[in-house]
Amino acid sequence: MSIFRMALVLLAVVSGCSNPEYFQKKIDSARTQLRLSEDQKALETLSVTSDSGAPPEFHYLKAITLDRLGRNEAATAEIRRATAAEPNNPKFKGLELRFRLFARDRSSLDQLIELNDQFAAVGPVALYATYAFQAKAVMLSAENKPKAAEVHEQRKQQTLATALTLSKDMPEFHRELIVFAMQNQKYAEALSLIDGLLEVDSKSIPARNQKIQVLLQLKEPDAATVIAKQLYEESGKRGPGAEAYATVLSTASNSAEHDAEFEKLRTEFPYNPIIVTRFATYLTRAGQMLKAFEFLDQAIKEQPDKSARQHLAFVSVTLPLEIEAPEYAEERLRICRTEFNDPLLLEYFEARILYLKHQYREAVQKMLNIVAAEQKNPGRSSPLATDALAWVRRILADRLVGDQIKNVIDKTRDAPLIRVDDASSKPNDKPAKPDEKPASTSPDKNDKK
């Protein structure tokens, strides 16, 4: 290339970098890429030869991009360039404070809350404040200040609601808003945001996976199954995709179509323990638990891998426990006992069965044995010990509530009954439940006169 032509190219680049339209195109493209979680692409879009003429919004988006890619110092430098250009812009100032919050700067907490008080109707500020209120609530709870923690939790919910309402103003933060919405059981709002992402990119795998999770929470498993099947087929029908599909399929309604889908998976992956156990779960949910047991027993017999057999046995015992059928659980433990190498796991199952039989003292003792064994040999059965401790708390809480109810019954047992014709009594104006007959004051035909 001649020197003259190189000079022309350089001139075009330099003039382009000082052109507002040039930067606006970069900003629009990067914002869409951030919305779709394409962070590296967004950085490539925002990486220009010279950004000396770039508007503050350019540096703001670049700061978000760099932060998501873990380049914290560079992100801080970019947001400072934005705030230097527009020091009174609340979303720029708020992002800088959020960076400080994530860097464990406690002073940023109150500053973010104060900024939200001043600019509550600015979407990004509401999102930043949501982080601040959440962190403050956790801190106050750790300091044993439950009332103050509850107040900040309520304010977090308020700012999150504001941020979700104003989500159209900040597509670059839709990813975070979806996560926040799901964490706080705002599934309808999360679904709306995800559908918006899919309008931009209908093939987005992260968005479709998120939609599956939201649909399951909204009790729409059949709709989730359709998407899961699409992802499985697009993945080339490989093992991990098959396991994910089977997991979602196990929540679907019982139908000939879903039966056939499981049959295909089992034919394609006959020894995959995840697919086998998901089918057993599907059968149990459909009221075919005995058929599920027969299927699991056959799968255990045919399974060549020892760890896979133990996984199948674990599910075989767990299924009746989950539907609170202690007699079946006891029988399954007797049949599958030899598949378990860990005596603590056996004790755990026995404790769960005792709990369902209302033998609380014995159940607690076995769970405490597991916790004590973990304390003697740390790391040996940490997850099991954690679960055992949770069960101890649950059993004690259930026992406490049961005792309180019993005390109330005992106290009211000898209380005088209210007469039907008592002047202080109110008419029975409650609507009858669907499965109940309306209350009647007329004598029954079969009453003896």
| pLDDT tens for each residue of 119-162 | 999 999 999 999 999 999 999 999 999 999 999 999 999 999 99
Q: Residue 366: inside a domain, yes or no?
A: yes
Indicate the number of domains in the chain: 2
Task: Give pLDDT, residue 425.
Answer: 37
Predicted local confidence at residue 430, as pLDDT: 39
Last residue of a domain, one of 87, 116, 135: 87
In a domain, residue 273? The reply is: no
Structural domain includes residue 388: yes
Residue 65 and residue 31 in contact, taking contact as beta carbons nearer than 8 Å: no
Q: Is residue 393 part of a domain?
A: yes
Looking at the domain assignment, is residue 142 inside a domain?
A: no
User: What does the pLDDT look like over 166-210, one tens digit per residue?
Assistant: 999 999 999 999 999 999 999 999 999 999 999 999 999 999 999
Alpha carbon separation from 102 to 64, 202, 305 (Å, rounded): 13, 33, 45
- Cβ 277 vs Cβ 315: under 8 Å: yes
What's 43's domain CATH number? 1.25.40
Within-domain flag for 254: no
Q: 220 lies in a domain?
A: no
Residue whose entry in the numeric block shows the structure tokens 């992802």:
231
**Which one of 25, 55, 87 terminates a domain?**
87
pLDDT at 424 (0 to 100): 36
Q: Extract the runs of DSSP E, i.e. beta strands, from 159-307.
A: none
pLDDT of residue 35: 93
pLDDT at 428 (0 to 100)? 40
Compute mean pLDDT per 10 residues along the chain, 449 residues long, and list them: 49 55 93 94 92 91 96 95 95 96 92 95 96 94 93 95 95 95 95 95 93 96 96 91 95 95 94 94 93 94 92 95 94 94 93 94 92 80 86 84 57 47 39 39 41
Residue 142 tokens, joined: 């750790």
* 380 domain residue, yes or no: yes
Quick one: pLDDT at residue 20?
79
Domain region containing 21: 16-87
On whether the CB atoms of residues 32 and 171 are closer than 8 A, the answer is yes
DSSP state of 219: T
Both tokens of 105, joined, read 């700067």
C-beta of residue 121 within 8 angstroms of C-beta of residue 113: no
The upper half-sphere exposure of residue 87, i.e. CA atoms within 13 Å in the direction of its Cβ, equals 1
